Chains A and B, each alone.
Chain A
Amino acid sequence: MLSYWVYIAIFLVVAVAVPIVAVGLPALISPKKSSKRKEEVYECGIETTGNIRVQLKSQYYIYALIFLVFDIETVFLFPWAVSVGKLPLYAVVEGVVFIAILFAGLIYAIRKGVLAWS
């Protein structure tokens, strides 16, 4: 079983090394004629004005927050889903109650109008 994780470690190293080689090789053989004009940031062909860091909408934060809640919930649901066959029936109902509580939270958020891209 440990050899499986060693294989994954080797695979991750290879999966990072091969793209690095693929990106690094053109850096050796491509032309390097940099000029000020070429390195300007793109803004539909006109001169860039204004601050680069625009203020993002707070809506992104709300989506991320609700995503976080449901993502942690799915992490908790993984062992529950695996062991549904081995646990008595009331354990399944407990899991259903857990999902239902968070589902009620989602319904509340939707009704409040929070999950709308204004």
Chain B
Amino acid sequence: MADLINLIENWIENLLLGWGASQELTLFILQALGSVLVVLICFAIVIALIWVERKLAGRIQDRFGPNRAGPFGIFQSFADIIKIFTKEYITPEGAEKGFYNVAPVLAIASVLAIWAVFPFAVNVLGADIHVGVLYIVAVGSFGILAILMAGWSSNNRYSLLGASRSVAMLISYEIPMVVSMLVPVLLAHSMKLSDIISAQDPWWNLIMAPLAALVFLISSMAEIGKAPFDLLEAESELVAGYHTEYSGMKFGMFYVAEFLHQYTVGALITIFFLGGWSGPMAVQWPILGFIYFHIKTFVVYLVISWIRLSLPRIRIDEMLNLNWKFLIPVSFINLVAVAIADRVMLEFEVAQWIYVGIMFGLNMFILLVSLFLAGKASPVVERETFPANRPVAVPPGAESK
């Protein structure tokens, strides 16, 4: 029972070998089954996440969420799926059919493909390739291409403008995301995701590299298009941005891709900074590792939702200024400082607690200095205040009162 997933896998393998299948065919069938299972579990997770998001948004905004469809509205997502399945596909005239139809599929395929390399437990790994982090960066960038495809191929100039602004923002925030992803790679001396988790053995990377975690959180929230960076879907600004002309399940794919991307970002933060599947008794009982992974991912998902539901949107120029003038310099200085500190402390072979303490202190120092400098560079502008007894128009006849 402790190693449930491997138990099932071995049972299926023995079954197939008993039926006379060769070793390679058995492996192929097992891998195909595993990937289909992960993809279907992802869709199922998204169904639950949509309900959680709507309930949470309702409660934070001092109202109930959906509470009609089933007890506490838990069947609301199923009702929405059934509705979306039967909507008509309205292709705008003049849209380029090829790109128009490929874009939603690509948007969600790029997020699903990241799940191929996730380690869920000690011995339940996806594909533990040596270049796991580079694969994640490469595949995650396909979603940006999908957005540009969607905006350009729907024959609508507002979609095109929305898509161009989205892409300008997304590629800008790609850089601090990748550079802050390099810090756990540096601390673990490897790009393999299982090595990154093993290197966080007594101390999570949240303690050893908090500034990288913060920069990664901010730039990931911009990558997935969640407020305060949700200019991509600002309803009051550009109708609905790049997915204006999509209806039915094609829009549903964009919608699911957004929630799944948020959950995937939670999983990435868990792997890089919160120790992945590690926890008490996770090595002896691998099923516990699987559970810890999802609990931590869900907590990060809730934190992202919490931030999204509390902050207003920021303008595109403020967003890009934040990226190019604050996040990129901070992330590069952080990388350089961590690299030098790591190498120097490796040279002197310091004890574990001194290493962790110096890393933490260095990160906090850089954060405080950069916040101080940012405060100096952009002082709060004093707003013009009006005196209390300004002349007010008095209606005729009220003077006598």
Asked whether, in the complex, the Cβ of A70 is within 8 Å of the Cβ of B316, the reply is no
Q: Nearest Cβ in chain A — how far from B342, in angstroms?
A: 6
Asked whether, in the complex, the Cβ of B248 is within 8 Å of the Cβ of A26, the reply is yes
Asked whether, in the complex, the Cβ of B346 is within 8 Å of the Cβ of A7, the reply is no
Asked whether, in the complex, the Cβ of A82 is within 8 Å of the Cβ of B191, the reply is yes
What are the interface flags for A81-118 relative to B under an 8 Å C-beta threshold, 1 for contact and 0 otherwise?
Answer: 11111100100110110011001001000100001110
Count chain A residues whose beta carbon lies closer than 8 angstroms to a beta carbon of B. 71
A110 — which chain B residues lie within 8 A by C-beta? 324-325
Q: In the complex, what residue of chain B is closest to A64 when comparing beta carbons?
A: B171
Asked whether, in the complex, the Cβ of B38 is within 8 Å of the Cβ of A11, the reply is yes
Q: How far is the CA of A60 from the CA of B332 in the complex (A)?
A: 23
Q: Nearest Cβ in chain B — how far from A17, in angstroms?
A: 9
Contacts A14-B39, A31-B88 known; A99 to B129 CB distance under 8 Å?
Answer: no
Q: In the complex, what residue of chain A is closest to B126 when comparing beta carbons?
A: A7
B31 — which chain A residues lie within 8 A by C-beta? 3, 6-7, 10-11
Q: Nearest Cβ in chain B — how far from A46, in angstroms?
A: 12
Query: Chain A contact residues: over half helix, strand or loop, or mixed?
Result: helix
Asked whether, in the complex, the Cβ of B339 is within 8 Å of the Cβ of A96, the reply is yes
Q: In the complex, what residue of chain A is closest to B81 when comparing beta carbons?
A: A22
Asked whether, in the complex, the Cβ of B160 is within 8 Å of the Cβ of A54, the reply is yes
Q: How far is the CA of A18 from the CA of B36 in the complex (A)?
A: 8
Q: Nearest Cβ in chain B — how far from A1, in angstroms?
A: 8
B154 — which chain A residues lie within 8 A by C-beta? 41
Asked whether, in the complex, the Cβ of A53 is within 8 Å of the Cβ of B157, the reply is yes
- In chain B between 21 and 68, which residues have their CB closer than 8 angstroms to a CB of chain A? 27-28, 31-32, 34-36, 38-40, 43
Residue B189 interfacial (CB < 8 Å): yes
Q: Nearest Cβ in chain B — how far from A108, in angstroms?
A: 12
Q: How far is the CA of A43 from the CA of B77 in the complex (A)?
A: 30
- In chain A between 29 and 54, which residues have their CB closer than 8 angstroms to a CB of chain B? 29-34, 36, 38-44, 50-54
A103 — which chain B residues lie within 8 A by C-beta? 329, 332
A19 — which chain B residues lie within 8 A by C-beta? 104-105, 108-109, 112, 253
Q: Nearest Cβ in chain A — how far from B20, in angstroms?
A: 21
Q: How far is the CA of A101 from the CA of B244 in the complex (A)?
A: 43
Q: Nearest Cβ in chain A — how far from B200, in angstroms?
A: 16
Q: In the complex, what residue of chain A is closest to B182 when comparing beta carbons?
A: A81
- In chain B between 216 and 272, which residues have their CB closer than 8 angstroms to a CB of chain A? 239, 244-245, 248-250, 252-253
Q: Nearest Cβ in chain B — how far from A86, in angstroms?
A: 7
Q: Nearest Cβ in chain A — how far from B46, in angstroms?
A: 12
Asked whether, in the complex, the Cβ of B127 is within 8 Å of the Cβ of A8, the reply is yes
Residue B373 interfacial (CB < 8 Å): no
Q: Nearest Cβ in chain B — how far from A53, in angstroms?
A: 7
Contacts A89-B347, A96-B339, A103-B329 known; A15 to B39 CB distance under 8 Å?
Answer: yes
Residue B155 interfacial (CB < 8 Å): yes
A92 — which chain B residues lie within 8 A by C-beta? 339-340, 343
B332 — which chain A residues lie within 8 A by C-beta? 99, 103
Asked whether, in the complex, the Cβ of B35 is within 8 Å of the Cβ of A74, the reply is no
Partner of A15, one of B32, B109, B340: B109
Q: How far is the CA of A15 from the CA of B260 in the complex (A)?
A: 13
Contacts A23-B104, A85-B342 known; A63 to B245 CB distance under 8 Å?
Answer: no
Contacts A39-B91, A67-B174, A81-B185 known; A99 to B329 CB distance under 8 Å?
Answer: no
Asked whether, in the complex, the Cβ of A41 is within 8 Å of the Cβ of B179, the reply is no
Q: How far is the CA of A81 from the CA of B189 in the complex (A)?
A: 7
Residue B190 interfacial (CB < 8 Å): yes
Asked whether, in the complex, the Cβ of B253 is within 8 Å of the Cβ of A96, the reply is no
Q: Nearest Cβ in chain A — how far from B107, in angstroms?
A: 9
Q: Nearest Cβ in chain A — how far from B369, in angstroms?
A: 16
Q: How far is the CA of A74 from the CA of B133 in the complex (A)?
A: 12
B244 — which chain A residues lie within 8 A by C-beta? 42
A31 — which chain B residues lie within 8 A by C-beta? 86, 88
Q: How far is the CA of A70 from the CA of B157 in the complex (A)?
A: 30
Q: Nearest Cβ in chain A — how far from B374, in angstroms?
A: 13
Asked whether, in the complex, the Cβ of A78 is within 8 Å of the Cβ of B87, the reply is no
Asked whether, in the complex, the Cβ of A67 is within 8 Å of the Cβ of B105, the reply is no
Task: List, sorted by A's number, 10 A–B pairs whose CB atoms are closer than 8 Å.
Answer: A8-B113, A8-B117, A8-B129, A30-B89, A40-B93, A43-B156, A74-B182, A78-B185, A83-B189, A99-B336
A interface residues with partner B (beta carbon < 8 Å): 1, 3-8, 10-12, 14-16, 18-20, 22-23, 25-27, 29-34, 36, 38-44, 50-54, 56, 59-60, 63-64, 66-67, 70-71, 74, 77-78, 81-86, 89, 92-93, 95-96, 99-100, 103, 106, 110, 115-117
Q: List 7 additional contacts besides A41-B245, A70-B175, A74-B179; criterion CB under 8 Å.
A: A11-B39, A11-B127, A14-B35, A14-B36, A53-B160, A96-B336, A115-B321
